[in-house]
Amino acid sequence: MKVGFIGLGTMGAPMAMNIQAGGFDLVVHDVNPPAAGALMDSGATWADNPAAVASWSDVVLLSLPGPAEVAAVLTGTGGIADGAGAGLLVFDLSTNAPTEVRRLHDEMAEKGVTLLDAPVSGGPQGARSGKLAVLVGGDEAAFIRGLPVLQAMADQPIYVGPIGAGSIAKLVHNLSGYMIQTALAECFTMGVAAGLDAESMWSAIRKCALGRARTFDRMGIQYLPGKFEPPDFTLKLATKDVRLAVELGREFDVPMALAEMTLTELNAGMERGWADQDSRAPMKLQEERAGVAVRIPPERIAEIMDSE
């Protein structure tokens, strides 16, 4: 199987190297030709533009900065659409907009090209080590056909669903991470301002409940099955704890914007009469606002957890 790789930056170059190490013939392209040096020294072939990559390849992978670059490489002058033969598979490893991915998928399909969105998660270290998740949306048969290539660069290639599904999953993951880091900054500045040194605080807290469990695994206990009774920890006690933390922040003049929002949500749950339900019950408020229910049957949660 001949593999093309376009975009040899911080993530792309090590992913391409792992694919090459997996025994695949590789053709590469980048707007910065010297970025291909190490790959070409190891036997990769240089292509002058994306069209040339497409004309040579069975599978092409894109590792590009964002939607504009992906669109240009796929459909611009000298792009993949200009050189692709029918049956070409293209995996977009970039973090892209789901609506844009769907549009490009339909446009490329007219050329006989199957586009799959396949954003990766694991960072540069994961790109080098192969400890990567690849979240794939698109035709499942095409995913299976390209799976050997993905497995050469990632230990967790995951089929998520139809086109756009991979991008949605990646955006949920990244938004969760950056929201959590923003909250942690607020919480830890409160702790230091109140007089606790960072090392003692971090060393202790990482051994508590949040530190012991994987963040997303905890969702399977109450929230995803929608089971808030009997509680693990009641909403009324959680509200008391958050109120005390907010008051501590105020005492030491620490801005507590996220904590104030959290307390408002918990108080709204209390006003609904959920005081004796689990502390995660106020998560239902956001479901009501969004008009969706985030639910997974308990038996499926158990199967997913047991499969890992």
Distances (CA, A) of 89 to 62, 83, 102, 116, 208: 11, 13, 15, 8, 46
> Which 8-state DSSP code applies to residue 269?
H
Residues 153, 16: Cα–Cα separation, whole Å? 8
> Which 8-state DSSP code applies to residue 34?
G
Residues 146, 90: Cα–Cα separation, whole Å? 9
Q: Which residues pair with 137 in a beta bridge?
A: 117, 161
Residue 74, token pair as written in the block? 């796929």
Active site (catalytic) residues? 170
CB 31 within 8 A of CB 21: no
Kindly give the pairing relationship between strand 120-121 and strand 133-137.
antiparallel
How many Cα atoms occupy the beta-carbon half-sphere of 151 within 13 Å? 7
